[in-house]
Amino acid sequence: MGYKESYNEWLTDPYFDEKTKEELRGIEKDEKEIEDRFYKELEFGTGGLRGVIGAGSNRMNIYTVRKASQGLANYVIKNNGQDKGVAIAYDCRFMSPEFADVTALCMAANGIKAYVFDALRPTPELSFALRELHCIAGVVVTASHNPPEYNGYKVYWEDGAQVSVPRDEEIIEEVNKVKITEAKTMDMEEAKAKGLYNVIGSEMDDKYIAALKNLIIHPDVIKDMADDIRIVYSPFHGTGNVPVRRILKELGFKHVFVVPEQELPDPKFTTLDYPNPEDPKAFTLALKLAKEKDADIVLATDPDADRLGIYAKDKKTGEYMPFTGNMSGMLIGEYRIGEAQRMGLLPSDGVLVKTIVTTNLADAIAEAYGLDLVEVLTGFKYIGDQIKNFEEDGGHEYVFGLEESYGCLAGTHARDKDAVCAVMCLAEAAAYYKKEGLTLWDQMINIYEKYGYYREGIHTITLKGIDGAEQIKGIMEKIRTNPPKNFGDLKVNEFVDYNDGPEVTGLPYSNVLYFDLENDSWCCVRPSGTEPKIKFYMGVKGTSLEDSDKKLEALKEAVVAMA
């Protein structure tokens, strides 16, 4: 069916409501818009759904969400998981509560118990809750850090991690079989009366917070220093506000200042161009408040509270210094691993897990502490997979995991990156190092001095729409078939194409190209799985901040010239 036929079907089929049809009639003279909304069905990929909210087969709306939910329901039934049920959480975005209920009522219509949080919650709490409830699957309605016009739908399995190979592909197959007008639903009151729609309330929050507190290493240090640490925090209008403030308060931190303009949920993200802790502009209000309050650290979580961005004061200059996700992850990792070793608590079979685009500083830290290092494909679900594997084989113990995109996980209470946990860990580390007369920036420099100045960067090209998708394919194919022999002055030592699969790479098939370069440098190319982007990740090692930044800039210039 062509896009015009699909458009006309949505206008005439009684399955679609009048509000949807009214929106579509409003674009009847805009051929390009009709084409973009209907040239394909919104793809259910390995991470679920993500797209712009609106009417049409290539948009996030109640119908595309219901179709995805029907496919997931069919898969749950195939795996005899009806009675175990599906846990559902949602964030602060437009249509998030509605999409959560659409998902729950589709499950109910298929005889599957749905457990829905009573209000917005962080993504990591969904991972925690579905394991507490012994559900077979979970769904989070979120578009993470995307702009306000987006929403999304992430699927988790009973181990608490996002679905991965082969389960993700099997679910995709089920979703693709579903005709959009054949997805089931049920009346809310009927679902509740039959025990198929259940509400998750504050008792789960209590369990989640208790699990986080169990990860604290030095409660005595927090008690000693809690009155001396000044923290500025922004939830970026999202789900982190309540749990982050609660955990810091219950641990005893007395001076936590929340950015008032960004405290409450706001699906427009009015104070932000882009609700992403990777974006320095997103910290404008937080840094202003930090200077007013003379804060030690500045923290911000993205809307679904799985990513954390930080600034910390440089004692020498008084300026607030930005940390990349690699830096904050390794600051937490070095603190927790180092203290575990000092206290005799580091397991002899311990493992540090990172993705292939994460800093090589992780390799150096793992080696220094005698930990095994496991590399996985990009995406925290692969780290979650490793936790499950370690528990099943009994031969290794997970110690810490991180990815470059501002996500890490201490502990195994969740199987996804957890920014609430990361806030707690950084606040504890700030107290510990302040007692030693150090800021977190001082400690970051100490880590660089100990292991080398590893620095990383990223170059992103955004190409939207039909033409953009083809251009991204073309760029990947060009590099794949004619890989460069050098990046500027850096010679390529080894080229790895992850499309060659596990026999060559030891990892699942993936559309990723990796270049190991001389002088401890590297570059990795991959299309984004959730956005119309192609990303070039890169890393270098220098002898100082100035040296490594200079090397990184030269590598980035070479990448831009090649792209």
Reported residue count of the chain is: 563
Round to whole Å and give the CA distance between 512 and 228: 46
Does some domain include residue 324? yes
Are residues 248 and 298 part of one domain?
Answer: yes
How far out from the chain centre does Cα 353 lie?
16
Close Cβ partners of 40 (under 8 Å, ≥ 6 residues apart): 57, 58
Does some domain include residue 386? yes
What is the reported pTM? 0.95
Q: How far lies 216's CA from each of 122, 346, 384, in Å?
A: 20, 15, 21
Other CB atoms within 10 A of residue 493 CB? 12
Are residues 531 and 509 part of one domain?
Answer: yes
Are residues 384 and 321 part of one domain?
Answer: yes
Round to whole Å and give the CA distance between 305 and 124: 8
Are residues 461 and 438 part of one domain?
Answer: no
What amino acid positions are annotated as catalytic residues? 144
Round to whole Å and give the CA distance between 175 and 220: 51
Round to whole Å and give the CA distance between 464 and 39: 14
* Residuewise pLDDT in 10s, the chain (563 residues): 799 999 999 999 999 999 999 999 999 999 999 999 999 999 998 789 999 999 999 999 999 999 999 999 999 999 999 999 999 999 999 999 999 999 999 999 999 999 999 999 999 999 999 999 999 999 999 999 889 999 999 999 999 999 998 999 999 999 999 999 999 999 999 999 999 999 999 999 999 999 999 999 999 999 999 999 999 999 999 999 999 999 999 999 999 999 999 999 999 999 998 899 999 999 999 999 999 999 999 999 999 999 999 999 998 899 999 999 999 999 999 999 999 999 999 999 999 999 999 999 999 999 999 999 999 999 999 999 999 999 999 889 999 999 999 999 999 999 999 999 999 999 999 999 999 999 999 999 999 999 999 999 999 999 887 788 889 999 999 999 999 999 999 999 999 999 999 999 999 999 999 999 999 999 999 998 767 899 999 999 999 999 999 999 999 999 999 87
Does some domain include residue 353? yes
**CATH code at position 380:** 3.40.120.10
Contact (CB, 8 A) for 519 and 453: no
Round to whole Å and give the CA distance between 524 and 294: 39
Which residue's structure tokens are 């794949």?
A: 480
N-terminal to C-terminal alpha carbon distance within the chain: 35
Are residues 432 and 308 part of one domain?
Answer: yes
Structural domains of the chain, count: 3
Does some domain include residue 4? no
Are residues 152 and 134 part of one domain?
Answer: yes
Are residues 477 and 438 part of one domain?
Answer: no
Does some domain include residue 352? yes
Radius of gyration of the chain from Cα atoms? 24
Contact (CB, 8 A) for 144 and 306: yes
Does some domain include residue 173? yes
Q: What is the model's pLDDT at position 464?
A: 81
Are residues 483 and 397 part of one domain?
Answer: no
Parent domain of 516: 453-562
Are residues 413 and 310 part of one domain?
Answer: yes
Does some domain include residue 524? yes
Are residues 496 and 368 part of one domain?
Answer: no
Round to whole Å and give the CA distance between 474 and 512: 14
Strand partners, 375: 354
Hey, what amino acid is at 133? Answer: L
**CATH code at position 497:** 3.30.310.50
Boundary (domain end) residue, out of 451, 486, 519: 451
Boundary (domain end) residue, out of 423, 451, 479: 451
Nearest to 301 by CA among 322, 321, 275, 320: 275
Does some domain include residue 538? yes
DSSP, residue by residue, 331-375: HHHHHHHHHHHHTT-S-TTEEEEEETTS-THHHHHHHHTT-EEEE
Are residues 179 and 62 part of one domain?
Answer: yes
Are residues 382 and 258 part of one domain?
Answer: yes
